[in-house]
């Protein structure tokens, strides 16, 4: 059996949570492989809306197990808040024995968040626009070999280890200025660590491989998007993990040969939240219209998302890096009522027409070259059958498939679980 991967092809918020939830009945295990509570994965069903930050989006399916993989960074306070929130609404994945956590996953400390904030405020105009959840500093401690891991919470000297790392953080924070009081956060942290200890901790790599050996189906759930990948995204305006398929191997402990389908998800247009280059951004009324109709405000931070037309060079790059085998297009309904929509097919870069992503996109924002496409007027949100899809939307999908060379298997026409069409059925 292979591990299928679902990941974002743009700058995040493509609708991963919704689609993982839709696909979860087909899988025995959903495993988050990277990122942390910088993610906000939204899913809706039965008039209920949930936003998950750390917990995999398979928890609402009664039969599916869920793993927070070793590549994820965990804020115990946020995870406790997520679990308490779910419990209050009648879902308890821990009591139901359907949530597991990898011992090797790293822990976000309150001081990691202080470091994130201090680093961002020091950068001023060039700031990343981080979610300020402590993601960067936690991954820095991981690769710097100073980090604390979930399994460490079970050790008798956990507090001493914590203090050693906090002392290091304090010396760094002192360089930035006065260290804010974090005693309340620290108390909440230790309370949440007790909760963390109650979630079954596993060696995630063996856990996942046992599923595979038993012939069970696993879906790896990505966070963020390819253009936020630390190696291949719009560096330095990226997150601190590998958001690409390769990240599923290191973030779960699976061999490359075990990767099966790679499901790439993208919006019918494009958004980005935070700083950094965004070639197709529309800083005008059209961009505002997309934001208003698409409710483009961050699921985690509430920040307005920057909006623009679809970017084919960026998508082609993402498809290549991830080995995408099939795609999901979301938010097609948001484009209803635009007489003309535009697709960026090339960039003008140093006076040259190119169709790839230049390495220094952050320094020289390339100018997009567009092709105009005739839009559709029909409301799509009630569509449940493929023969109800307007011809112009079908033409748009076929246009994208031709340019990108990968089929669109699912079409999403609204935030609800039900508003999803399988185009290959």
Q: Which of 22, 299, 397, 411 binds Mg ion (CB under 5 A)?
A: 299
Residue 170 CA to residue 176 CA, distance in Å, equals 10
Instruction: Quote the longest CA-to-CA distance of the chain.
Output: 65
The nearest distance, CB 272 to ligand GDP, in angstroms, is 12
- In this structure, how many other beta carbons lie within 10 angstroms of the beta carbon of residue 139? 23
Residues written for the chain: 425
Q: Which of 37, 247, 366, 415 binds ligand GDP (CB under 6 A)?
A: 415
254 burial (CB, 10 Å; 0-12 / 13-18 / 19+) is buried
Q: State yes or no: residue 44 binds ligand GDP (CB under 6 A).
A: yes
The DSSP code for 281 is: B
User: Which span (158-166, 171-179, 276-284, 328-336) binds ligand GDP, by CB under 6 A?
Assistant: 328-336
Contact 195, 83 (CB under 8 A): yes
Residue among 4, 21, 41, 333 flagged as catalytic: 41
Cis upstream peptide for 236 (omega within 30°): yes
Q: State yes or no: residue 135 binds ligand IMO (CB under 6 A).
A: yes
Residue 67 CA to residue 75 CA, distance in Å, equals 15
- In this structure, how many other beta carbons lie within 10 angstroms of the beta carbon of residue 176? 14
Count of residues in contact with ligand IMO, rule CB under 6 A: 25
Which of Mg ion, ligand IMO, ligand GDP, none binds 333 (CB below 5-8 Å, type-dependent)? ligand GDP
Q: Which of 7, 12, 311, 314 binds ligand IMO (CB under 6 A)?
A: 12
Q: Which distant-in-sequence residues (6+ apart) come within 8 Å of 114 by Cβ?
A: 169, 173, 179, 180, 182
Contact 33, 6 (CB under 8 A): no
Nearer to Mg ion, 115 or 290 (CB): 290
User: Which span (13-21, 24-32, 76-84, 167-175) binds ligand GDP, by CB under 6 A?
Assistant: 13-21
Q: State yes or no: residue 56 binds ligand IMO (CB under 6 A).
A: no
Which of ligand GDP, Mg ion, ligand IMO, none binds 44 (CB below 5-8 Å, type-dependent)? ligand GDP
List the interface residues with ligand GDP, window 262-301 (CB under 6 A): 299
Q: State yes or no: residue 13 binds Mg ion (CB under 5 A).
A: yes
- Say whether 84 is catalytic: no
Q: Which of 69, 71, 136, 368 binds ligand IMO (CB under 6 A)?
A: 136
- Measuring CA to CA, how many Å separate 332 from each of 11, 351, 410? 17, 33, 11
Q: State yes or no: residue 112 binds ligand GDP (CB under 6 A).
A: no
Instruction: At 195, list the tokens.
Output: 């909760």
Q: What are phi and psi of 273, to 5 degrees?
A: -125, 140
Q: State yes or no: residue 68 binds ligand IMO (CB under 6 A).
A: no
Q: State yes or no: residue 21 binds ligand GDP (CB under 6 A).
A: no
Residue 341 CA to residue 347 CA, distance in Å, equals 17
Paired sense of beta strands 218-221 and 3-8, if any: parallel
Q: State yes or no: residue 264 binds ligand IMO (CB under 6 A).
A: no
The nearest distance, CB 12 to ligand IMO, in angstroms, is 3
Kindly write out the interface string for residues 24-63 of this chain, putting x where it contacts Mg ion by CB under 5 A and - elsewhere.
Answer: ----------------x-----------------------
Instruction: At 40, list the tokens.
Output: 């906000």
- Say whether 387 is catalytic: no
Instruction: At 34, list the tokens.
Output: 């990277």
Active site (catalytic) residues: 13, 41
Contact residues for ligand GDP (CB under 6 A)?
8, 12-18, 39-42, 44, 299, 330-331, 333-334, 412-415
């Amino acid at each position: 059996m292979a591990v299928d991967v679902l990941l974002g092809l743009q700058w995040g918020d493509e609708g991963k949570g919704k689609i993982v939830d839709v696909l979860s009945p087909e899988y025995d295990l959903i495993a988050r492989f990277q990122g942390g509570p910088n993610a906000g994965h939204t899913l809706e069903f039965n008039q209920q809306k949930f936003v998950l930050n750390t917990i995999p989006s398979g928890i609402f399916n009664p039969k599916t197990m869920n793993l927070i993989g070793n590549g994820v960074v965990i804020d115990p306070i946020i995870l406790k808040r997520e679990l308490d929130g779910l419990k209050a609404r009648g879902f308890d994945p821990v009591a139901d024995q359907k949530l597991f956590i990898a011992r090797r996953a790293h822990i976000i400390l309150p001081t990691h968040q202080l470091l994130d904030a201090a680093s961002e405020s020091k950068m001023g105009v060039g700031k990343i626009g981080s979610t300020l959840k402590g993601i960067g500093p936690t991954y820095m401690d991981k690769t710097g070999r100073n980090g604390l891991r979930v399994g460490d919470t079970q050790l008798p000297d956990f507090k001493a280890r914590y203090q050693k790392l906090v002392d290091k953080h304090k010396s760094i924070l002192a360089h930035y200025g006065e260290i804010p009081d974090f005693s309340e956060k620290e108390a909440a942290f230790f309370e949440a660590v007790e909760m963390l200890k109650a979630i079954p901790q596993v060696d995630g790599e063996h856990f996942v491989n046992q599923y595979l050996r038993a012939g069970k189906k696993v879906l790896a759930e990505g966070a963020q998007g390819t253009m936020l990948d630390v190696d291949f995204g719009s560096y330095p305006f990226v997150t601190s993990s590998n958001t690409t398929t390769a990240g599923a191997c290191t973030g779960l402990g699976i061999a490359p040969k075990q990767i099966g389908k790679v499901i790439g998800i993208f919006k019918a247009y494009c958004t980005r939240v935070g700083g950094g280059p965004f070639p197709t951004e529309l800083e005008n009324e059209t961009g505002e219209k997309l934001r208003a109709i698409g409710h483009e405000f961050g699921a985690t931070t509430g920040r307005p998302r920057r909006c623009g037309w679809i970017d084919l060079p960026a998508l082609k790059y993402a498809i290549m890096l991830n080995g995408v085998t099939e795609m999901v297009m979301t938010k097609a309904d948001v484009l209803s009522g635009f007489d003309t929509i535009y697709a960026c097919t090339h960039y003008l870069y140093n006076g040259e027409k190119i169709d790839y992503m230049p390495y220094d996109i952050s320094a020289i924002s390339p100018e997009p070259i567009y092709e105009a496409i005739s839009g559709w007027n029909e409301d799509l949100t009630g569509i449940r059958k493929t023969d109800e899809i307007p011809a112009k939307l079908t033409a748009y999908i076929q246009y994208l498939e031709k340019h990108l060379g990968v089929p669109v298997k699912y079409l999403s026409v609204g935030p609800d679980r039900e508003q999803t069409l399988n185009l290959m059925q």
